[in-house]
Amino acid sequence: MMALRLARAATGKDRIIKFEHHFHGWHDYAAGEWTEGGTAALGVPSQTLSNVVIIPQNDLALVERTIEQESGIAAIILEPTGYHWGGGPTAVEFLRGLRELTRRTGVVLIFDEVITGFRASPGGAQARFGITPDLTTMAKIVAGGLPGGAVAGRADLLAMIDSDPLLSRSNKRRVAHPGTFNANPLSAAAAVACLELVGTGDPHRAADAAAVRLVDGMNAAFKATGVAGRAYGLASMVHFLIGQECPPGGFEWPDPYKAPPNTDPGVAIAFKQAALNEGVEFMGEGAMVSSAHTDQDIEDTANAFEKALAALKADGIV
Ligand SMILES: Cc1ncc(COP(=O)(O)O)c(C=O)c1O
């Protein structure tokens, strides 16, 4: 919310572009599209929704046309690894194109690194891909497990929330950010301690290696059970889909321009229950691996995955 506010304050424009299925929290500007039967935008004022333009990812020409045709675009916000924290991956050329396009058109580029910050690499997706946005939003890992979030980015944008009281009184472009937990010292202390660990890269090496083992184990389970589907991932973020033919490939999804097919919702619910019966709760059709997971945890999870697939097959669900 703060990043969007800064972008609107800096540009004097109201509207933002976001991408289909990208999640940026539940506040009004990010709540998402109105869909038949969907609830994401229920209760959001229609004036607010009219200031959010939602288009598919990976189509740079469409973004360019949208900026030209829709007046008053202040910012573009996205999950840099793609929707559902990379379940539907973005193409790196698309990100590069967005960087060049936003620079040229004066639109503020915001990477939502709430999940990918410190997972995609110690410097987030932006360090992994070598693309620096104007603003970055962070939460989760950034506060070391305590509630907290942060916005980082261009000095001229962050100057609008400068906390120097003398400066801020005279600064007509100051953006206010009062709140119960804003600048909470406990979360800030946890953040500093956590980021020192993150900076070593050690947790990533362990977690990323565990994710590769998990994805291999899951793909072996598809093979062993004869169920169609595929597991894939990026860094320590793992995704899978069940009951659909998929292109073969390595750890990462092979072609971001060919989005992974969706698991049928009925199959997804049945799988969730079957996996719970085996003692594992997956996060939708995905999993996050951490440096605390042991080889045994990974093996147990892959075994539970295989048993759950076998149960779906035995019940004729896939
Ligand atoms: C990519 C992404 N952006 C934003 C958010 C919202 O973060 P918060 O709950 O701190 O507002 C989330 C929460 O899960 C998220 O995954």
The residue-averaged pLDDT of 95-119 equals 97
- Does the Cβ of 25 fall within 6 Å of ligand 1? yes
Residue in 57, 84, 114, 116 to alter for ligand 1 test, most ligand atoms within 8 A of Cβ: 114
Ligand 1 midpoint to CA 79 (Å)? 10
pLDDT of residue 171: 61
pLDDT value, residue 24: 93
Q: Supply the pTM of this predicted model.
A: 0.95
Average pLDDT over residues 180-192: 92
**What is the predicted pLDDT for the residue at 248?**
85
pLDDT above 60 (res 250)? yes
* pLDDT reading at 32 higher than 80: no
Mean pLDDT calculated for residue range 132-139: 98
The pLDDT tens digits for 262-312 are 999 999 999 999 999 999 999 999 999 999 999 999 999 999 999 999 999
Between 72 and 249, where is the model more confident? 72
Rounded to the nearest angstrom, the distance between the alpha carbon of 208 and the centre of ligand 1 is: 22
Per the structure block, which two tokens stand in for 239?
């995704």
24 lines ligand 1 (CB under 6 A): yes
Element (H, E) at 8: helix 2-11
The pLDDT-based confidence of 170 (bands split at 50, 70, 90) is low
pLDDT score at 38 = 57
Could you give the count of Cα atoms lying within 13 Å of 305 in the half-sphere of its Cβ? 31
Q: Write b or e for each residue in 4-29: b if 16 or more Cβ atoms lie within 10 A of its Cβ, otherwise e.
A: bbbbbbbbebbbbbbbebbbbeeebb
Confidence of residue 46 (pLDDT cuts 50, 70, 90): confident
Output the CA 294–ligand 1 centroid distance in Å: 27
Distance (Å) from CA 27 to ligand 1 centroid: 10
Please tell me the residue having the least CA distance from ligand 1 atom 8. 25
Confidence tier at 87 by pLDDT (50, 70, 90): very high
Answer yes or no: is the C-beta of 149 below 6 A from any ligand 1 atom: yes
Find out whether the beta carbon of 23 lies less than 6 Å from any atom of ligand 1.
Answer: yes
165 pLDDT band, cuts 50/70/90, is low
- State whether the beta carbon of 115 lies less than 6 angstroms from ligand 1: yes
How far is 162 from 9, CA to CA, in rounded Å? 14
Q: How far is the CA of 114 from the centre of ligand 1 (A)?
A: 6
- The residue among 35 and 86 whose pLDDT is bigger is 86
Residue whose Cα lies nearest atom 6 of ligand 1: it is: 25
Mean pLDDT, range 1-25, rounded to an integer: 94
Least confident of 110-114, 122-126, 246-250: 246-250
- Counting ligand 1 atoms within 8 A of each CB, the residue from 27, 115, 119, 283 with the most, and so the one to mutate, is 115
Which residue type occupies 226?
A: G
Query: Atom of ligand 1 at shortest distance to CA of 25?
Result: 6
79 lines ligand 1 (CB under 6 A): yes
The answer to whether 228 and 315 have CB atoms below 8 angstroms apart is no
Q: Are 271 and 310 in contact (CB under 8 A)?
A: no
Helix axes 202-225, 295-314, angle to 10 degrees: 30
